[in-house]
Amino acid sequence: MCDQHGLLLVFDEIQTGMGRTGELFCYQRTGVTPDVMTVAKALGGGFPVGACLATHEAAKGMTPGTHGSTFGFNPLAMSVANATLDVMLKPGFFDHVKKMGLLLKQRLAEIKDRYPSLIAEVRGEGLLVGLRALIPVGELVDALRGEKMVTVAAGDNVVRLLPPLIVSEQEIGEAVQRLDRACAALSKVHGKKAGATG
């Protein structure tokens, strides 16, 4: 539709880009190529950096003086981004992300099946995963924090899980054990509440 009407297609890949979904960029999974794309976060491997990428045609509008940046042209940030890309673009890096993402989703599906009154759905791609909760999402986030696992809510009912792209099978196993313990504790609490009202 954008091509048909001469519109720019802009993708925000600040969270989804840089290998998070198992490809360098998430758009590569869609069959659609954006004209302009923003990337950040994982681009610096923990160091603050961001970039705006554009096709040659879309970049024609960015003449000198029309695009500014408070922290642009930082040599240290660019060196860090280059070093990060050197790691990510090594053969097998994205295969590892896909393999760990599949393992994580399989293990989370086991938790969903074990606690169907707490977890409704496992969603996401690669190592960008969410658990749709049937209880107040803050309760699940708090229970996980009690197990020394840091997560955040995404919207009203999803807990977001974003392990590092270099996560190991052992670390996924440990995270799932912590989630299992948190759900077991919540299941007791919510089971009592259900019994009290039923």
Select from 65, 88, 111 the last residue of a domain.
Answer: 88
Q: How many domains does the chain have?
A: 2
- Model pLDDT for residues 26-58, shown as the tens digit of each residue: 999 999 999 999 999 899 988 999 999 999 999
Does residue 194 have a pLDDT over 60?
no
The pLDDT > 70 percentage for the chain reads 96
pLDDT of residue 178: 98
**3-class secondary structure, 7:** coil
* Judgement on whether residues 112 and 138 belong to the same structural domain of the protein: yes
- Residue 10: pLDDT band with limits 50, 70, 90: very high
Select from 45, 69, 88 the last residue of a domain.
Answer: 88
pLDDT of residue 70: 75
Helices (H) and strands (E) in the chain, counts: 6, 7
Whole-structure pTM value: 0.87
One-letter amino acid at 156 equals D
The total of other beta-carbon atoms located within 10 Å of residue 69's CB is 10
* Judgement on whether residues 61 and 124 belong to the same structural domain of the protein: no
CATH number, domain containing residue 110: 3.90.1150.10
* Judgement on whether residues 101 and 84 belong to the same structural domain of the protein: no
- Model pLDDT for residues 161-187, shown as the tens digit of each residue: 999 999 999 999 999 999 999 999 999
* Judgement on whether residues 100 and 65 belong to the same structural domain of the protein: no
- Residue 197: pLDDT band with limits 50, 70, 90: very low
* Helix (H) or strand (E) run with residue 192 in it: helix 169-197
* Judgement on whether residues 78 and 109 belong to the same structural domain of the protein: no
| 139: containing domain | 94-197
CA distances from 135 to 37, 141, 143, 189, 196 (A): 36, 11, 12, 11, 16
- Length of the chain counted residue by residue: 198
